Homo-oligomer: A and B are copies of this chain.
Amino acid sequence: MAEILEEVTKTQHQVRLDRLAQVAVNVGLGLAAGQELVITASLDSVELVRAITREAYKAGATLVTTLFSDDEATLLRYQYAPDASFDRAAGWLQDGLANAYRAGSARLAVAGGDPSLLAQQDAKKVARANVAFSVASRPALELITTHVINWTIVASATPAWAHAMFPNDAPDEAMEKLWNAIFAASRVLDDGAVENWRAHDAQLQARAAYLNGKRYSALHYTGPGTDLTIGLADDHLWLGGGTVAGNGLHCIPNMPTEEVFTTPHCQRASGYVAASKPLSYQGTLISDIRVKFENGRIVEAKSGTGQQVLRSLIGTDEGAARLGEVALVPHSSPISKSGLLFFNTLFDENAASHIALGQAYSSCLRDGHHMSKAELAAHGANESLIHVDWMIGSAEMNVNGVSVDGSEELIMKLGEWV
């Protein structure tokens, strides 16, 4: 009886929060009874973390452990720590995580940090800390990116993120708007969210299978400010929606997800392209990006704001001026329809078709996981320290598939699947 009364008196916010938790655990993670679960989240996400913890135990998790991060503590480090700090990372903790994954634990990340947390900090220290963290977390990250375990990422509203998106609203109103945007984008507004997610997943997988059947050699994008042909990598593989992890469990690594994506050939892009949305990169907003490619490489790059940051980004290494991902997203996706810029890749990359500078995914090549670096390069897969998505799709964008014989057929018209 107490349970029933509790259900009745839940607010709509609580209902949707619980639904997001159910979808995250049962569809996103595909958690199996008897699995452990590790969650990473910011302190501000504790409400969603508790809902996920409850759903995970209901689904049979033997133990749920959450590693909370604290933005305030991160800032205190930049403010007070000795210089040597910025070459350090908690390797003992990352090794522990890798051991948890090897022992069968699932992994859920709650996204939602302050998008400009480090914008005012010394960029060199930020870069050094990122490198130290990357090195320390590599063993754990590899078990995730190669899908040895089932994992997912979902988002929680946080005050700093809400303020970044809705700076003119009172804190409570901004939080409510962001939560509603997350619920809509994550497809948990209504009853039947678990079934709807399974159908959505099946549709993305069917779309990827269709494109894999076509074996296009390139994509040809046309629209305002854009006439770009991007060659696809040899043996490229389109992916979309969920995946079966090495432990046999079906998971959907990103929630929301609206994209099908593959690996371009890093030597074969040519033409020009205009971004359809600004890019938020480490606290800097880069607007009106216009870029020209020759032989896969950027030879001209301009922007409205953030031109210096854009050039520095492209100059990171040789691969940073080349493409590592192409992704197709219909203009009618819930995130696109919201008209919001989230300052968060998990959302913004699912608002529009996009391309990414930098590192390619070996999972987007047939047998890519078993290829050496030299084999990956021979197939056209790009290599770089960065991987930065930016939006080029819009309601005015057409995309043609280009066959090996040079013939073209329309696959997206005015931003929608044909």
A76 within 8 A of B: yes
A53 within 8 A of B: yes
A333 within 8 A of B: no
Among A57-74, those with CB < 8 Å from B are 57-58, 60-68, 70, 72-73
| A84 nearest CB neighbor, chain B only | B62
Q: In the bound complex, how far is the Cα of B85 from the Cα of A64, in angstroms?
A: 10
A53 and B73 contact, CB distance less than 8 A: yes
Interchain CB contact (< 8 A) of A80 among B54, B68, B80, B100: B54
| A80 nearest CB neighbor, chain B only | B57
B76 and A89 contact, CB distance less than 8 A: no
Residue-wise interface mask of A (65-96) relative to B, using a CB-CB cutoff of 8 A (1 in contact, 0 not): 11110101100110111101100111011011
Q: Which residues of B contact A54 (CB under 8 A)?
A: 76, 79-80
Q: In the bound complex, how far is the Cα of B80 from the Cα of A60, in angstroms?
A: 8
Q: Which residues of B contact A34 (CB under 8 A)?
A: 82, 84
A54-B80, A57-B80 known; A70+B92 contact, CB < 8 A: no
Q: Which residues of B contact A46 (CB under 8 A)?
A: 43, 70
Q: Which residues of B contact A105 (CB under 8 A)?
A: 92
Q: Which residues of B contact A72 (CB under 8 A)?
A: 50
Q: Which residues of B contact A97 (CB under 8 A)?
A: 92
Interchain CB contact (< 8 A) of A96 among B43, B58, B95: B95
A36 within 8 A of B: yes
A199 within 8 A of B: no
A90 and B77 contact, CB distance less than 8 A: no
Interchain CB contact (< 8 A) of A77 among B64, B84, B93: B64
A65 and B90 contact, CB distance less than 8 A: yes
Q: Which residues of B contact A90 (CB under 8 A)?
A: 36, 63, 65, 100
Interchain CB contact (< 8 A) of A93 among B62, B68, B81, B96: B96
A99 within 8 A of B: yes
A33 within 8 A of B: yes
A70-B50, A76-B53 known; A82+B95 contact, CB < 8 A: no
Q: In the bound complex, how far is the Cα of B89 from the Cα of A96, in angstroms?
A: 13
A103 within 8 A of B: yes
B82 and A92 contact, CB distance less than 8 A: no
Q: In the bound complex, how far is the Cα of B64 from the Cα of A95, in angstroms?
A: 17
A82 and B53 contact, CB distance less than 8 A: no
The contact sample of 8 A-B pairs, CB cut-off 8 A, is: A50-B72, A53-B73, A54-B76, A54-B80, A62-B84, A63-B81, A63-B88, A92-B99
**A→B interface (CB under 8 Å):** 33-34, 36, 43, 46, 49-50, 53-54, 57-58, 60-68, 70, 72-73, 76-77, 79-82, 84-85, 88-90, 92-93, 95-97, 99-100, 103, 105
